[in-house]
Amino acid sequence: MTLHPQSVAFLTDLGEPTVPDADQVPAVRAQARAAALAATDRIGLDAVLDLDADGVPVRLYRPALGAPVALYVHGGGWVLHDLETHDAFCRHLAHRTGWALLAVDYRRAPEHPFPAPLDDVETAARWLRQHARAHRVDATFLPGIGDSSGANLVAGLSVRDASLLDMQVLLYPATDRAGDLDPALDTPALTAAQMAWFWRQYADGSDSAEVSPLRHDDLASTPPTVVVTAEHDVLRDQGEAYASALSAAGVPVSAWRALGVPHSFWRMPERFDLSRATVLAVGALMDARRTAHL
């Protein structure tokens, strides 16, 4: 397994990985948020609106009036990241695909462990179904898009209510709380020790299928799914196991392994050519599935 030169540069910039400490979480969140807010290269869209989805803060990215809309759930180990850390990427995703996005500012662990984050994602999805037209977007066909822990929440939502989403798009998803994490796939972007810590903050001891979608006993009810894994990622194998299990259950699945890249590559189009290509591929797959649905 060989790292792409862009991956080498990214991982070198990250430095040595460390396992988070609960006392450091507020400072780490604030640092990431400040860095995101300092960025000036944000794509302008038809509208970017901060809204209230029945008590859950959300942000609507609308590239054009009447655009189809997807639910977006950010990653960060259920602990880190927020609307601001993913703002530039959501603008890029909406601009390049033509899809509006409703990004969910769900409550985070460890202050709010499972099921609070998933509850917020469900609330936002139901709100979007009801209020899309009022905000000039089309939720007739509603995909859910998530990266990492956000992908876990999208998949968990499909376990909770398979009718809420018409499609899942999962970027390097966490799918199995009890699954093995291979330290041989560690990189500074994510290590097995870090991921184990994140799991403990979110759902320590829970064996619910909403936490571990790979263990759901009715995978056949899952909506059509796209799974993208990263070659150099401790979550790679459980993401691919989930895609295989869905396919075996008869669910339409498009899945591929992005070669040469680590965890987090998807949301960094400014650093990774493969991020930009994956965004276009995801947009095309959503367009095709929407056309078939309508």
Question: Distance of CA 44 to CAs 61, 95, 199, 283, Å?
Answer: 10, 8, 36, 19
What amino acid is encoded at 100 in this protein? A
The torsion defined by the Cα of 84, 255, 143 and 60, in degrees rounded to 10, comes to 20
- Containing 177, the helix (H) or strand (E) segment is none
CB 267 within 8 A of CB 275: yes
Active-site annotation holds for 263? yes
7, 149, 263, 275: which is the annotated catalytic residue?
A: 263
Residue that is written with structure tokens 């450091």 in the block: 24
Question: Distance of CA 69 to CAs 61, 105, 121, 130, 132, Å?
Answer: 9, 17, 15, 13, 8
Distance CA 136, CA 139 (A): 10
82, 105, 148, 275: which is the annotated catalytic residue?
A: 148
* Nearest alpha carbon to residue 90 among 155, 154, 149, 146: 146
Active-site annotation holds for 148? yes
105, 147, 176, 233: which is the annotated catalytic residue?
A: 233
Question: Distance of CA 93 to CAs 22, 42, 103, 217, Å?
Answer: 32, 12, 12, 33
Just list the catalytic residues.
148, 233, 263
